[in-house]
Chain A
């Protein structure tokens, strides 16, 4: 099945800093999503982005499907951005979304 790798595994930022999280996948995808898991375990869907670029406030995401990677940008980070960020991908003919191992982000005041 498809392999999904995320980097960096851990990231520590000062409030107000910008960051880029990366997701590499081993096969062509027809579905790619980014999630934020808060410290209480709730997974929030940030983006559905199998290709192209989307923006939502301070967050934006870009997927370059032909090169098999996706990027999540966080600008002007806030302490509430802390948590674990997961990408999940599905390849053609495969039934399930496969999650990466996540990037753990800590934003300090």
Chain B
């Protein structure tokens, strides 16, 4: 079975532009979470979606938004890009949410903002 897939793998944008990152969860997984990882740090939680509903949001500005589709795939959108948005964006899927949530990560999208 395929793991979590993310696209694109790398992306270069300029300040002020908008970007959309995509994620397909493991087959049968209904929960998708997005994390931002800045070089040298641990992943920081951005959003979680379960059954197409937002279940949690991290401490990120409103420029960040996400959604989950009926097939459980997800998109993360970032508007008005800043240099500080340069990071590895990770998507994780899980079969359940809450205390039983076990995360499986994709390979990430490396975003560079120039």
Contact = CB atoms under 8 A, between A and B. Distances in A.
A48 B102 contact: yes
Interface in A26-74: 30-31, 33, 35, 40-45, 48, 50
B61 interface: no
Interface residues of A, number: 24
A25 interface: no
Majority secondary structure, A binding face: strand
B104 A97 contact: no
B70 interface: no
9 contacts: A31-B101, A33-B103, A43-B105, A45-B103, A45-B105, A95-B56, A96-B33, A99-B35, A102-B42
Interface of A: 30-31, 33, 35, 40-45, 48, 50, 86, 88, 90, 92, 95-102
